[in-house]
């Protein structure tokens, strides 16, 4: 694996739940790990639903192998010129030697 191409910092997040003060279940995302990654856009599209326009991007992300990453996680990507993007993991594909992960993701803009 060529480390030179991995020049973006991404944060893996996991969903956690806990009970609120009145007993309701509250779901929150917490950081799992921040790692170096390579990000490539595969495609993008806009669609209209209920009178609103939504944009969606399909990206491929490569990172070093981790055994704790599943499609239940998500990826948060922030940089100085990017407002923040959240990617949902569609597929987690390890290579044969378990040295890297290929992650197929869908996502859009994350408003913080």
CATH classification at residue 88:
2.40.10.270
Global pTM value: 0.79
Q: Which percentage of the chain shows pLDDT scores above 70? A: 80
Query: CA-to-CA distance for 105 and 57, rounded, in angstroms?
Result: 8
CB atoms under 10 Å from CB of 76, counted, come to 19
pLDDT in tens, 36-58: 999 998 876 666 666 666 677 78
Enclosing domain of residue 102: 3-109
> Which of these, 13, 63, 15, lies nearest to 39 by C-alpha position?
63
- Domain count along the chain: 1
pLDDT in tens, 73-110: 999 988 777 677 889 999 999 999 999 999 999 986 55
**70 falls in which pLDDT band (50, 70, 90)?**
very high
């Amino acid at each position: 694996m060529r480390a030179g191409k991995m020049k973006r910092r991404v944060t893996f997040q996991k969903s956690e739940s806990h009970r609120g003060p009145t007993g309701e279940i509250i779901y929150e995302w917490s950081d799992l790990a921040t790692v170096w990654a390579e990000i490539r856009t595969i495609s993008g599209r806009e669609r209209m639903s209920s009178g609103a326009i939504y944009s969606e991007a399909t990206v491929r992300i490569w990172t070093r192998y981790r055994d704790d990453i599943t499609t239940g996680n998500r990826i948060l990507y922030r940089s100085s010129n990017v407002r923040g993007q959240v990617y949902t993991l569609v597929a987690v594909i390890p290579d044969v030697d378990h040295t890297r992960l290929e992650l197929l993701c869908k996502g859009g803009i994350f408003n913080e």
